A and B are shown apart, each in its own frame.
Chain A
C-alpha cells in the first residue's frame, strides 16, 4: 500500500505495535529509480532530454510479512522524515533496550570484579 510520508510513519508505528508478541518487521530503503520499462517516459526523454534530470527520491518500504507499506521521500522532506522515523524507532525499540541492560550490568560487574582481583 503506497502512503504519504506522514501516513507511512503512523502505519509503521502500528506495524511495530502489532508485531510485539510475534513476528518480525522489515524496513527497506533504497534510492528510487524510475523503471526502465516506462515507455512513455523514455519517449518524453528523447523528445526533451532536459527532463531526464530526475529529482532524487528515496523509497522506503516496510512489511511484517503480511502487510506491506511503502512511501517515497523527496529530497526536501528527508530531514524531517529522518527525524520522525527515528522517533518511531525509539518508541518501538524501547522494549529491546530493557533486556540487554541487565546483560550490560553483568558484564560491568564482571569487569569490575576482574579489575578488583588485579588490584588485590
Chain B
C-alpha cells in the first residue's frame, strides 16, 4: 500500500519497526531509467511504501536511512 504523506510514512515505519525489530526490514529500490525511488518497510504482514522521483526528496531518503541506522542499533 502506498502512503502519499511523508510524515505519515515516516512515523508508521518507526512504529512498525519498534513493534517487531527482528522481522521488520527496510528496502530502498532505485530504478535509474525511470529515476524512480520506492521506499518500503515491511514485516511480512504490514507493508508500507512510499514512492518519489523528485529531487527534493533525496533529503527524505537520507532521513529514513539515518532513522533506520539509528533504530536498528538501539539496545
Contact = CB atoms under 8 A, between A and B. Distances in A.
A9 B2 CA distance: 29
Nearest to B17: A31
A6 interface: no
Interface string B16-59: 00000110111111111101010000000000000001111010
A27 B58 CA distance: 15
Interface bin, chain B: 20 to 34
Contacts of B27: 26-29
Given A95-B35, A96-B55, A78 B69 contact: yes
Given A96-B55, A97-B58, A100-B35, A25 B30 contact: yes
Interface string A68-112: 000000010010011001100110110111111101100000000
A56 B35 CA distance: 34
Nearest to A82: B69
Given A96-B55, A100-B54, A104-B55, A25 B29 contact: yes
Given A86-B62, A96-B37, A97-B55, A29 B73 contact: no
B65 interface: yes
A20 interface: yes
Contact of B72 (A25, A30, A90, A103): A30
Given A86-B62, A97-B55, A104-B54, A75 B73 contact: yes
Interface of A: 16, 19-31, 33, 56, 58, 75, 78, 81-82, 85-86, 89-90, 92-93, 95-101, 103-104
Ordered nearest first, which 4 A-B pairs have the shortest CB separation?
A96-B35, A30-B25, A97-B55, A100-B54
10 contacts: A23-B32, A26-B27, A27-B28, A28-B26, A30-B25, A75-B73, A82-B65, A82-B69, A89-B65, A100-B35
